[in-house]
Structure 1
Amino acid sequence: MKRESINAKNAPAPRGGYSQAVKIEDFKTLVFVSGQIPVSDDDKVPESFEDQARLVWRNVDAQLKAAGMTKADLVKVTTFLSDRHHATANREIRSEYLGAVAPAMSVVITSIFDGKWLLEVEAVAAQ
């Protein structure tokens, strides 16, 4: 698969850890990961945003592994935050998880299905 990060010079530069666009060619598999929520496999929801965010990324990772993929295969990530005040912590924890991986990305501030959930993350991966 050929993968190219695109950041057009005549548009705003990305503001940390993502690409403005990701072009993929010659891929064999696409995986669409539904919104992963901050709920553990024993149905517990952590209280702090930081703990919820780390759990969400563990859940994304679990889905990718079940599909035979890793975070290196991510091409698009959408994060839904319940409050814009979580933006900095979200960026820091996302960067912890993604490292040098720079998928296309969107962050949306919105109400989330369950009031206890402070974020939800959906993703697209390709190989």
Structure 2
Amino acid sequence: MVTRDVVFPPDRHALYELHRYSPAIRANGLLFVSGQVGSRADGSPEPDRDEQVRLAFKNLNAILEAAGCSFRDVIDVTVFMVDPHTHFERAWAVAAEFWGEAPYPTATAVGVTWLSGFQFEIKVIAKLPDGPAA
């Protein structure tokens, strides 16, 4: 049986326990981060769509930081959006605030019909820094 090397952000939000998942797992020099949404500390969605995207990135960055990474270490991104035909450009503009400069990670955007009350979700794979913490 494999022991999962779980990474939690300093301020866990209620969704981890409610839905029984880990925020991120370290494995083979990589960090696999679960989909992050724009949830408040109690697990409720941020109602403003742009702020929900910002909060999803802030939640993601807290996990990356807890693992000793930053968004610059991200190599693969998957985003899920409700109604991307209407909201993709706006969400992508907000995401650019966090994206950084080229070279960019790979990215896949998926349109979905349901995200448990959320409008945007981002999951990533990042390269862990070399050294004892990796």
**In the alignment, is the contact (CA less than 8 A) between 1:50 and 1:89 conserved in 2?**
yes
Show structure 2 runs of 5+ residues with no match: 1-27, 129-134
Q: Look up the match of 2:97.
A: 96
- Sequence identity (%): 28
Runs of 4+ in 1 over 2 A off after TM superposition: none
Q: Look up the match of 2:82.
A: 82
Paired residue secondary structure (2:113)? coil
Give CA-to-partner distance per residue, 1:46-74, whole Å, 9 cap, x none.
Answer: 11210100000001101101111001100
Structure 2 counterpart of 1:46, one-letter code: E
**1:1-127 paired onto structure 2 within 5 Å:** 29-84=29-84, 85-101=86-102, 102-114=104-116, 116-127=117-128
Superposed displacement of residue 97, structure 1 = 0.5
TM-score normalised to structure 2 length: 0.69
Superposed displacement of residue 42, structure 1 = 3.3
Question: Quick one: distance in 1 between partners of 2:57 and 2:46?
Answer: 13
TM-score normalised to structure 1 length: 0.72
Question: Quick one: distance in 2 between partners of 1:117 and 1:44?
Answer: 9
**In the alignment, is the contact (CA less than 8 A) between 2:56 and 2:121 conserved in 1?**
yes
Question: Quick one: distance in 2 between partners of 1:91 and 1:42?
Answer: 26
**In the alignment, is the contact (CA less than 8 A) between 1:78 and 1:121 conserved in 2?**
yes
**In the alignment, is the contact (CA less than 8 A) between 1:61 and 1:71 conserved in 2?**
yes
Taking a change above 3 Å as real, the CA distance of residues 83 and 93 of structure 1, as seen in their structure-2 partners, is same
Say which structure, 1 or 2, has more relative contact order (CA 8 Å, 6+ apart): 1
**In the alignment, is the contact (CA less than 8 A) between 1:30 and 1:125 conserved in 2?**
yes
Show structure 1 runs of 5+ residues with no match: 1-27
Moved more, 92-101 or 55-64: 92-101
Structure 1 counterpart of 2:91, one-letter code: N
Aligned residues: 99
Structure 1 counterpart of 2:113, one-letter code: S
